[in-house]
Structure 1
């Protein structure tokens, strides 16, 4: 029987993005639709979408949303793309703002969004087999379906999957939001169901407790979040769902990330035309005023510049790292200390260090294509997408052994030339520096090994195909 699957998320490509969640929502539903499943997605209609996309959307329905302190109306629009029906919930006061998150009324905004999604199912008389929610912004939906909306058998029959993309963000709010933003009585706080950490509530906790299955975006991260180090005070709650917790690694969209058809590149290339990758290196060097030298190793970075991403390790060792024959091109923004350090080195080493402060999608594509080595020393990384793109574009990742990085980057083995990149363990800058030196030594002194590693990386399957099958198997396990 054809399954019907509804994705509910706070962001998704090609409409709106702040992080890796958007890439998943832009790619996974499309891949699942290829299997013949009825796949739909619900997103908020943000300001950027209202400006850029709204005129294309078809009006669907309007209805009242009433729960707790929420008494307002939702308008819903839709668009079909790549075989997936997207629904957009419009509420100008709540969603047409300059940023997606970080407001004092986020509990209310996403309480409304989750109730509006449930009301949408009633308005459409559409009740999917599976509702697949993502992160805290939508995590309370399994709870609401089984409490607030349990008066309808159709809601009670729906099965729920919650995917945790980053446990560091849990939707933790004051206890009064249980009523104000979810419309649920105080008893769920008193009995501990909704209560979390210092007498607050957590949307994420509700999802973990009420979903049929809980997934994360890599096998290793699924195990890490059960520990005190990575559990973010949620490890004991997750432990209750140990047998329903699993990891399915993300993929990337091969239609978007394809070095042979990428229009952003100076010259497209593939494994059979790998020599054309050099044209991208020379073009990027020229773009940033670096000496054009095809033989100097080019190290790329495309990232948020934060502690989580491991860049304090890089800051600590950068004076030493720049003594080698090397060039860095860094794209990103984040914590001021890291940005200021990179701006300093940009001026102190103009022939070796280039820094674009901010984000530029076209430039990101060009850095992946131009780089020989891709630097990603994350302290924790639920999955990570950058290392997958880098491998697809023939840039060998240098990563820390954590989360999805451990699951997707195979360390170079000098004795049999296996591997798709370079991996260090531990949390010390010295460990990172040692593997950095090893990577440079391999590039300059074992060029045939380097070519083999590039071939390994470019032929590694990092598409959504196998991951989508794993999700379909998971859905099947709870609907039959």
Structure 2
């Protein structure tokens, strides 16, 4: 089996720069692909957090003027990752996050910051860095969407292109009058190019001009081809349905492993699950909850946004309190939701605990210490939180959408009787349905033997990257074979 080389392109990568699940995927997938004979080098922006951590950097490409300043590409390694780092201080050497400044507002030059990433990907894809010419350029989300456009309009023989949608809601739409400044030719501004509702669509460009499109679950691949889920792009996705594939995400099961996790109070495995319960006490103490081993603890590890449906959790706090349950929340996002959880923690001391922001250690502690995890998303391309929950024995309670529907088997009576359930699903994503499901969770909690059996079944689920990596490798090899014909 011949080796295949891939240039992955992404705006974040764990553990160097992370705002969400995209970073986890981009950071974990290369190692899984290596087992399938796929060599991956990942191009990422040279944010300060990345530049601080890279090792053995060697310049392989330079530009005297990349959208307003000098830049160079470094071949480097960091945290076991093989990288190209776009060192462009005028674009990336600034405080704040990858997409926003310290004030939480989008950087006004984001169009150029991520066009630079995409243009550099095209140059690397065309072999302009000595010693590396990839078979595939695999771009992730809108920030890398123009890579396919720069390659398509260059005119030279190019590698095959794959574009992965991690969340169709984020599209990268910028004014049409930036076309020339972004280095795109006039003919690219058409319905068959980068034009999107009379603007430049970064994500739309990736969808239109890439050879293959993947998204992060089979159900989401179907949902985005409907008017309800397509967010203005369903027509294009239906037209290109023959090149769209849904491949489930996995998680890095070396980082998310309760048997060796250094971030939790008590390590455990399926065969020693009784050791898990010390984590519950530690979590209750950490979040200011009443220490009570019999209380049903619901966890939340989530971005606080309309998409994630955590307003539905707030709407059901009375039911949780009536059941004697507790809530341990870690999240950040929209101010009205943050304020809702802040008020709930003040109004219900010992029953609701909330930490705002993202803290990797607390995320692990909630997975290890909560009994169930609330994921009431209105839409969810894949979701990683429920995969971590399954691995750690926290039963996921989730809306039946996207990747949640593909990764959780509802513990209805038939599933419980046959031993195949792994969590709780509800539909539609509405307050009343979540409330009814929380009550169903409470009834099962009262049956400790059934609860323990369901927890064990969840922990046995393979949530690793092994199967997804096989599917990606198959996709890459088929593309390479097509282009060699």
Displacement of 1:85 in angstroms is 1.8
| TM-score under structure 2 length normalisation | 0.93
CA RMSD after TM alignment: 1.6
1:53-108: per-residue Cα shift (whole Å, max 9, x none)?
Answer: 14x341223412668xx364322223336775211110111011222112111111
Within 2, Cα distance between the matches of 1:368 and 1:399? 15
Within 2, Cα distance between the matches of 1:185 and 1:39? 30
Within 1, Cα distance between the matches of 2:400 and 2:64? 46
> More deviation in 205-214 or 462-471?
205-214
Which residue does 1:313 correspond to in 2?
A: 312
Map 1:57-456 → 2, pairs under 5 A: 57-64=56-63, 70=67, 72-80=69-77, 84-97=81-94, 98-101=96-99, 102-120=106-124, 121-148=127-154, 150-151=155-156, 153=157, 155=158, 158-181=159-182, 183-190=183-190, 193-197=193-197, 199-415=198-414, 416=417, 417-444=419-446, 446-456=447-457
SS of 2:82's equivalent in the other structure is: strand
Within 2, Cα distance between the matches of 1:221 and 1:65? 42
Displacement of 1:127 in angstroms is 1.6
Residues 65 and 119 of structure 1 are in contact (CA less than 8 Å); yes or no, is this contact kept in structure 2?
no
Stretches (4+) displaced over 6 A: none
Residues 131 and 159 of structure 1 are in contact (CA less than 8 Å); yes or no, is this contact kept in structure 2?
yes
1:294-345: per-residue Cα shift (whole Å, max 9, x none)?
Answer: 1211111111111110012122222233221111111111122221121122
1:154-211: per-residue Cα shift (whole Å, max 9, x none)?
Answer: x2xx111100000011111111222211x122232256522212x1110111111111
Within 1, Cα distance between the matches of 2:386 and 2:254? 17
Within 1, Cα distance between the matches of 2:320 and 2:434? 10
Within 1, Cα distance between the matches of 2:123 and 2:82? 17
Within 1, Cα distance between the matches of 2:448 and 2:413? 12
Q: Identify if the C-alpha distance between structure 1 residues 124 and 440 changes in structure 2 by more than 3 Å, giving closer, same or farther.
A: same
Structure 1: which 5+ runs fail to align?
none
Q: Identify if the C-alpha distance between structure 1 residues 65 and 146 changes in structure 2 by more than 3 Å, giving closer, same or farther.
A: farther
Aligned residues: 468
SS of 1:333's equivalent in the other structure is: strand
Structure 2: which 5+ runs fail to align?
100-105
Q: Identify if the C-alpha distance between structure 1 residues 332 and 191 changes in structure 2 by more than 3 Å, giving closer, same or farther.
A: closer
Residues 372 and 395 of structure 2 are in contact (CA less than 8 Å); yes or no, is this contact kept in structure 1?
yes
Within 2, Cα distance between the matches of 1:320 and 1:310? 17
1:276-304: per-residue Cα shift (whole Å, max 9, x none)?
Answer: 01100011112233222212111111111
SS of 1:49's equivalent in the other structure is: helix
| TM-score under structure 1 length normalisation | 0.94
1:428-459: per-residue Cα shift (whole Å, max 9, x none)?
Answer: 21111001100011011x22111111111000
Which residue does 1:9 correspond to in 2?
A: 10
Displacement of 1:41 in angstroms is 0.8
1:391-426: per-residue Cα shift (whole Å, max 9, x none)?
Answer: 100000000000000000110022414311001001
Within 1, Cα distance between the matches of 2:147 and 2:164? 12
Residues 149 and 193 of structure 2 are in contact (CA less than 8 Å); yes or no, is this contact kept in structure 1?
no
Q: Identify if the C-alpha distance between structure 1 residues 318 and 254 changes in structure 2 by more than 3 Å, giving closer, same or farther.
A: same
Which residue does 2:103 correspond to in 1?
A: none
